Structure 1
């Protein structure tokens, strides 16, 4: 399930992100993210169930700041996975050869 509870909160399954305060929770537990991790998560949460390519992510999250380094996407996706999926059913999935997708858990 994906919903917006108000104009500033994104919700995908049990994952919530307050775009104003930057607070992130999963199942009510707070998750600390860096600004870049939060930008990446925001992009995924605005596009749930949609497979996003590394190029799309680079263009949207880094806006060419990294000179097109696809490896930075892999690195930050791994950071994000460790934080949002730690001890829980995974939400962030790799689509081999295509990109990444955020899906609510069943």
Structure 2
């Protein structure tokens, strides 16, 4: 997973009421801790490094899973759905699909 080297420059990422601490690997939304798997954490970290920017499935695969896009986009969709269940559960959504392009995260509301 390639995103980890960015942890040194910015220990905490914040998008709206969502905070990701790259050193402790803690994620909180509105102060409530969210438990993530290592892959979910890396995916969320990648999205939070680029708030408001749409990231393609190919880029996400390359950065989080470190392999080229070859029809494996369904793994991205699967992990996005896992993140939505945890990050957006009973709250205004932050993780959005841009149909035919990719995924983005932005503050709720």
Q: Which TM-score applies when normalising by structure 2?
A: 0.87
Contact residue 10 and residue 16 of structure 1 kept, 8 A: yes
Quickly say closer, same or farther: Cα 1:14–1:54, change in 2 above 3 A. Answer: same
- The root-mean-square deviation of aligned C-alpha atoms, in Å, is 1.7
Misfit runs of 4+, over 3 Å: 65-68
Confirm or deny that 1:29 pairs with 2:11: no
Confirm or deny that 1:93 pairs with 2:96: yes
1:39 maps to what in 2?
42
Q: Cα deviation per residue 1:21-65 (whole Å; 9 max; x = unaligned)?
A: 100000000000000000000000000000011001000110018
| Alignment size in residue pairs | 101
Displacement of 1:103 = 0.8
Confirm or deny that 1:63 pairs with 2:66: yes
More divergent stretch after superposition (80-89 vs 58-67): 58-67
Quickly say closer, same or farther: Cα 1:7–1:100, change in 2 above 3 A. Answer: closer
1:105 paired residue among 91, 98, 108: 108
2: distance between equivalents of 1:97 and 1:75? 16
- What secondary structure sits across from 1:40 in the alignment? helix
Question: What stretches of structure 1 of length at least 5 have no aligned partner?
Answer: 1-5
Q: Which TM-score applies when normalising by structure 1?
A: 0.90
2: distance between equivalents of 1:99 and 1:46? 15
Question: What stretches of structure 2 of length at least 5 have no aligned partner?
Answer: 1-8
Richer in strand (by share) = 1
Richer in helix (by share) = 2
